[in-house]
Chains A and B, each alone.
Chain A
Amino acid sequence: MAVIRDMIAPFELYQPAGVDDAVRLMDQYGDEGWVLAGGLDTFDWFKDRIKRPAAVIDLAAVDEIRGIAEGGDGGLDIGAMTSLTAVAEHADVQSRYPLLAEAAGLVATPQIRNQGTLGGNIVQDTRCWYYRSGWPCYRAGGNICYASTRRAMNREHCIMGADRCVAVNPSDTAPALVALDAEMVVASSSGERTYAAADFFVGPDIDIERMTVLEPGDLLTRIVLPAPREGARWYFEKIRDRKSWDFSLVTVASMLQVQGGVIQDARVVVNSIAPYPVRMGAVEAAIRGREPSEETGQMAGEIAVEGARALRHNDYKIALTRNLVKRSIRDAA
């Protein structure tokens, strides 16, 4: 196991004042550069001396990507450096996007939410301890997944979406943003690109060493929320071992468009069961045109876990996912 040390390996520290400067530095350093937002993911890596970048680009002074503003088409534009507390407590977020406010408010502890940023929460690396211990697993460029072996401790790992690696995406806000159909704005030296939140996350089948589309030199700058839908119902639930402070075991986020007592449209997303937030397309298709009832929820839960495969210690996640998806349909308000 990696040993936490007090001394972080030396690096060049840059504190750019704008996105352009930050992107230029990231482009200059490429793989050798490291973007520092809230530091909650970063300093574990640094103190364990597993990540040893040549340069750290601290975004603390980049005010242009901090804060919440009205976006076009009646939506909201949230800077990636906005703290999770600011997101959770913002009046517009609470009134128009309670799903996101709830998700941001359930991240870790108040201290961590004060320091952590929305962008950092979205792009944080997986918490698989085999990987975080610095062992040469697939995700670290090696040729084995220690978490999927016969004697592995894999209670927190995935039940679907695995491809050699069985780590899960730990973000609480990611499933909410996918359910809200948010867009991620990414800046790089070649310009700005926008991704639908559902396309922002990548599985190990596509790239086993990354969790998002971000490549060296790419900076997530803004999260754009579309105008809230009239009469939309939502549901968010995060299951964790300790309510005070923990990563999720399974998280569900759903947005239902209900008219005349019938589901017209739905977006159901489950996280921490796969290396990326899983949008339950089959569930969404099955519940359209049905009442958001116990029966519909039951059916949705069964569909949600079709094809799920438990590892040695995480078969409980199948039942948990089934029940959370059921609740997310039945209890959406």
Chain B
Amino acid sequence: MEFLRRALNPWGEDVPIGVSWDLIWAAVIIGAVFVVVHALMVPKKVATGEIDESEAKGLPEKLQRHTVGARGFHWSMSVTMFALLITAFFPVIGIQFPWVTIHWIAGVLLILTVIYHIYHVFAKQDFWTMWIDRRDVEEGKLGLKAALGQSDAERPRAGKYPVDQKMFHHVAMIATLGAVVTGILMMFRIDNFLLPMNTYMFSDATWGWIYVIHGVCGIGLIFLVIAHVYFAIRPEKRWMTWSMINGWIDRDRYLENHDPARWTVDGSSQTAEAEGD
């Protein structure tokens, strides 16, 4: 299996022209293996239903986890991401249709969505809720040990977002931004009404690496989407998925999974070390 597609340009230089399409199948297979292994090795965590009544004092029955704006971003990103992955990879695997226009328009919509998200995070939310800190590292270590059966210790409660969600966010952010930046540059190579064609903006080798990065990010997103969808439908995670639809979680879920000291919501008595939002 090769990783890069290379070619000789008109000047006889050996340049990369893109990522090997074999990697699409590698991403799908790795994603499928990950899902199967995880499903077999990690039992779904059964809720104990035990909560500290003192912590529950003053809390409403339903607590908002995602604002309308956050949910709007998530689902618009989902739609554009699926549109991008389908238009990018289906033609490669033999399902052919006119894909280029749909692809770049979906890409532009994704960029607008990401810009909105960045604005929303800085203007309306607390940026630091997604930051990985020392407590997240500790939470991750204990969670991993518990998952592998090496520890009976209970995984500590998370802030607003568990560390695995934060890690997924950051990896997805890198892959998405990589695809977005290279995708904007690649729009100079195709006919569109937003950017003028400028084929010779970079050398052939530089263009080749831009295509490679775009491909690597796109193929990486295949794996990330597989993993994301898998976790979204796992029984013990479905309450999170529902919260991305209706915006709220119930009080018991909050107290069971989140540390009020790290994620303070209206009505909670805890304020110390809160991560905000």
Contact = CB atoms under 8 A, between A and B. Distances in A.
Contacts of A141: 5, 7, 17
Nearest to A133: B10
Given A135-B9, A149-B200, A143 B98 contact: no
Interface string A138-179: 001111111011100000000000111000000000000000
B7 A148 contact: no
Interface stretch (B141-149, B189-197, B268-276): B189-197
A63 to B, nearest CB: 33
Contacts of A149: 199-200
Nearest to B5: A141
Given A142-B17, A143-B17, A206 B97 contact: yes
Contacts of A144: 189, 199, 204, 207
Contact of A143 (B18, B91, B97): B18
B18 to A, nearest CB: 6
A205 interface: yes
Contacts of A192: none
A31 interface: no
A31 to B, nearest CB: 13
Contacts of B100: 163-164, 205
Looking at A133, A144, A202, the one whose CB has the most chain B CB atoms below 10 A away is A144
Nearest to A135: B10
B91 A207 contact: yes
A206 B10 contact: no
A163 B207 contact: no
A136 B5 CA distance: 11
B8 interface: yes
B211 A143 contact: yes
B191 A146 contact: no
A191 B97 CA distance: 24
Contacts, number: 51
Contact of B7 (A136, A162, A163, A164): A136
A142 B200 contact: no
B96 A206 contact: yes
B208 A146 contact: no
Contacts of A205: 98-100
B98 A206 contact: yes
A165 to B, nearest CB: 11
Does more than half of chain A's interface fall in helix, strand or loop, or is it mixed?
A: loop
A307 to B, nearest CB: 13
B189 A143 contact: yes
A148 B191 CA distance: 10
Contact of B207 (A134, A143, A162, A164): A143
A258 to B, nearest CB: 35
Contacts of A202: 96
Contacts of B189: 143-144, 164
Given A141-B7, A205-B98, A206-B97, A162 B211 contact: no
Interface string A276-314: 000000000000000000000000000000000000000
A135 B91 CA distance: 22
A164 B190 contact: yes
B190 A136 contact: no
Given A143-B189, A143-B208, A205-B100, A136 B8 contact: yes
B188 to A, nearest CB: 11
B23 to A, nearest CB: 15
Contacts of B191: 162-164
Interface in B1-44: 5, 7-10, 15, 17-18
Nearest to B208: A143
B176 to A, nearest CB: 21
A150 B8 CA distance: 21
Contacts of B97: 206
A30 B17 CA distance: 24
A49 B18 CA distance: 23
Contact of B10 (A145, A146, A150, A162): A146
Nearest to B97: A206
Interface of B: 5, 7-10, 15, 17-18, 91, 96-100, 189-191, 197, 199-200, 204, 207-208, 211
Shortest beta-carbon contacts, A-B, top 6? A136-B7, A205-B98, A149-B199, A142-B17, A143-B211, A206-B96
Given A135-B9, A136-B7, A146-B10, 11 more contacts: A134-B8, A142-B7, A144-B189, A144-B199, A145-B199, A148-B199, A150-B199, A150-B200, A164-B100, A164-B190, A203-B98
26 contacts: A133-B10, A135-B9, A136-B7, A140-B7, A141-B17, A142-B7, A142-B17, A143-B17, A143-B207, A143-B208, A144-B199, A144-B204, A149-B199, A149-B200, A150-B199, A162-B191, A163-B100, A163-B191, A164-B189, A164-B190, A164-B191, A203-B98, A205-B98, A206-B97, A206-B98, A207-B91
